[in-house]
Amino acid sequence: MQEYRTIPITKTDIVPTALRMRHEGRHLVMIHGYLDKDGSTHVSWDYAVGNAVESYYIVGETTFPSIEGVYDEAARWPELELYELLGLTFEGLDTSARLFLPEDTLETQGKGHIVVTPLSELREKRLEMEKEE
């Protein structure tokens, strides 16, 4: 059966953990991020270790060092996704190209609002916009 383990780390452990995992030949499953119920960010670096996923997580931070130098493209896309959809900053990550959002979204609408704003609020905003039109 697949297992799942969570391990809390600090910002300084991110790159050493990635280097250790790379050295051991582990697969970077994904970098996941979400807002917990208190509204603080929860970001986890998930690695496949045998039949388990080890999830190294940090709560309440918004800037992180990029591990693109360790895991190459396998880390770049997940980091870009978190930058666009959650508004998190990865130091050393090239963010000039967009991933999911339209070319002009970052300038005109800000970033990170899609996953953060409750759907009901977005719906109300949309209705208001329609009324104004």
Partner 1 sequence: MSYIVPIGPYHPALEEPVHAKLYTEGEVITDAEVYVGYNHRGIEKLATERNAIQTLVLVERVCGICSHSHSFTYAMAVEGINGVEVPRRGQYIRVITAELERLHSHMLWAGIAFHIIGHDSMFMYTWDAREVIMDMLEELSGNRVNYAMVTIGGARRDISDDMRRKFLKNLDACVPKLDRITEIALNDKTIALRTKGVGVMSTEDAVRLGAVGPHARASNVKIDVRKDAPYSCYDEFDFNICTWDSCDVFARVVVRLLECYESVKILRQALENLPEGPINNGNKLPKIAEGEMVSRHEAPRGQLIHKVVGNGSLFNHRVSIHVPTFKNVTTVPLMLRGNTVADAGLIIAGIDPCFSCLDR
Q: Residue numbers of the site for partner 1 (CB under 8 A)?
A: 1-2, 4, 6, 25, 27-30, 32, 34-37, 46, 48, 50-53, 55, 71-74, 76-78, 97-102, 114-115, 119-120
Task: Give the 3-state DSSP-derived string for the chain, with helices as H, strands as E and coil as C.
Answer: CCEEEEEECCHHHHHHHHHHHHHCCCEEEEEEEEECCCCCEEEEEEEEECCEEEEEEEECCCEEECCHHHHCHHHHHHHHHHHHHCCCEEECCCCCCCCCCCCCHHHHCCCCHHHHCCHHHHHHHHHHHHHHC
Least distance to partner 1 from the beta carbon of 112, Å? 13
Q: Which is nearer to partner 1, 12 or 103 (CB)?
A: 103
Least distance to partner 1 from the beta carbon of 36, Å? 8
Q: Which is nearer to partner 1, 4 or 12 (CB)?
A: 4
Least distance to partner 1 from the beta carbon of 63, Å? 21
Least distance to partner 1 from the beta carbon of 39, Å? 12
Q: Which is nearer to partner 1, 72 or 128 (CB)?
A: 72
User: How many Cβ atoms from other residues are within 10 Å of residue 71's Cβ?
Assistant: 21
Q: Which is nearer to partner 1, 12 or 96 (CB)?
A: 96
Residue with tokens 């969570």: 6
